[in-house]
Amino acid sequence: MLLAACVAPAAVVFAAFWLLPMVELALLPATKGAATYFAVLTEPRYLQSLVQTTLLSAAVTLVALAIAAAVGLYLGRRSFAGRRLLLAVLTLPLSFPGVIVGFFVILVGGRQGPVAGFTEALVGERITFAYGITGLFLAYVYFSLPRAIASFTAVAERMEHELEEAARSLGARRWHLVRDVWWPALQPTALAVGAILFATAMGAFGTAFTLASRYEVLPITIYNEFTNYANFALAASLSLALGLMTWAVLFAARRFGAATVGAGA
């Protein structure tokens, strides 16, 4: 009874402003025929976009997790002047909208940027990476790192060190340390944060929009359908596909995490 009353406001807000509208949206593709729901599978261009988005998001997640774990391990277990400031600076991009990150990539890697000037001095040609897969990948990593660094630093701060010291004193090599001491301690966080990173990367629109990237991601495909004579049915169908794919990966990650959770979840 009490529990129900406590959940009620959230349930009302969620139902009214997400669930019901989404149900309405989910019915849109039907207006163009039931086959529209499967457009992502039947039209090669959409399928390619979905695959590209998933691959990019997965790659970005893995790279960001790996780098952030290293940084978190370093920052979480050391104490030096300015550490807090450094952490604040490293996690600052959390507040950036994706468009800023896209802008940064154009600033650095566009035709007017320092990289182009540098390559011109070096090889005589202005090389820009902003508008291709490289620029997009770097941008996605840029906005994924801060969240992961914040989480890993927090976990590393609370890591128990007896295990590691024992391992070292027994002569364990670095690789064994990583596999048997660090990884189990970081794994729950890695899964939780990785899920958020993946979901964010899958749904990211502003960055690719600003970059006008050649590598097409599904949110941009959805935008294209949306503005192509207001093709809402197809935009809705693709959105459902994207949501489903993201949710499926998150679900699998949670199951995997629950199955392997040992001490210290």
Partner 1 sequence: MNASPRRLLKAAAVAIGLLAGAGAWAQTAICYNCPPEWADWGSQLRAIKAKTGITVPPDNKNSGQTLAQLVAEKASPVADIAYFGVTFGIQAKKEGVTAAYKPAGWAEIPDGLKDPDGHWFTIHSGTLGFMVNVDALKGKPVPRSWADLLKPEYKGLVGYLDPASAFVGYVGAVAVNSARGGNLDNFGPAIEWFKALKKNEPIVPKQTSYARVLSGEIAILLDYDFNAYRAKYKDKANVEFVIPAEGTVVVPYVMSAVARGPNTANGHKALDFILSNEGQAIWANAFLRPVRTSAISKEAQANFLPASEYARARTIDYGRMAEVQKAFSDRYLREAQ
Partner 2 sequence: MTRRRRHHQGRVDAPVLLALTVAVTLFTVLPMLLSVSAGLTNNFSRGLASGLTTRWIAEVWALYGATAWRSLLLALACVVVALLVGVPCAWALARSRSRAARLFEELLTLPVAVPGLATALALILAYGQLRGFRQSFAFILVGHVVFTLPFMVRTVSAAFARDDLQSLDEAARSLGARFVQRFLGVLVPAVAPSIVAGSLMVFTLSVGEFNLTWMLHTPLTRTLPVGLADSYASMRIEIGSAYTLVFFIVILPMLWGMQALARWIENAHGSSPGPRR
Map the footprint of partner 2 across residues 70-89, applying CB under 8 A.
Answer: 70-71, 73-75, 77-79, 86-89
Which region, judged by CB under 8 A, interacts with partner 1, from 32-40, 64-72, 188-196, 208-216? 208-216
Q: Is residue 112 at the binding interface for partner 2, with CB under 8 A as the rule? A: yes
**30, 36 in Cβ contact below 8 A?**
yes
Residue 110 is a binding residue for partner 1 (CB under 8 A)? yes
Among 214, 251, 254, 265, contact with partner 1 (rule: CB under 8 A): 214
Site for partner 2 in 4-43 (CB under 8 A): 4-7, 9-11, 13-14, 17-22, 24-25, 28
253 binds, among partner 1, partner 2, none (CB under 5 to 8 A by kind): none
Phi, psi of 78 (to 5 degrees): -125, 155
Near partner 2 in 166-225, by CB under 8 A:
168, 174, 177, 196, 199-200, 202-206, 209-210, 218-219, 222-223
* Residue span binding partner 2 (CB under 8 A) among the ranges 41-49, 55-63, 120-128, 240-248: 240-248
Stretch in the footprint of partner 1 (CB under 8 A) among 1-9, 28-36, 53-61, 187-195: 1-9
Question: 122-147 burial string, b = 16+ CB within 10 Å, else e?
Answer: eeeebebbbbeeebbbbbbbbbbbbb
Interface ranges with partner 1 (CB under 8 A): 5, 8-9, 44-45, 106, 110-112, 126, 128, 131-132, 209, 212, 214, 216, 223-224, 226-230, 232
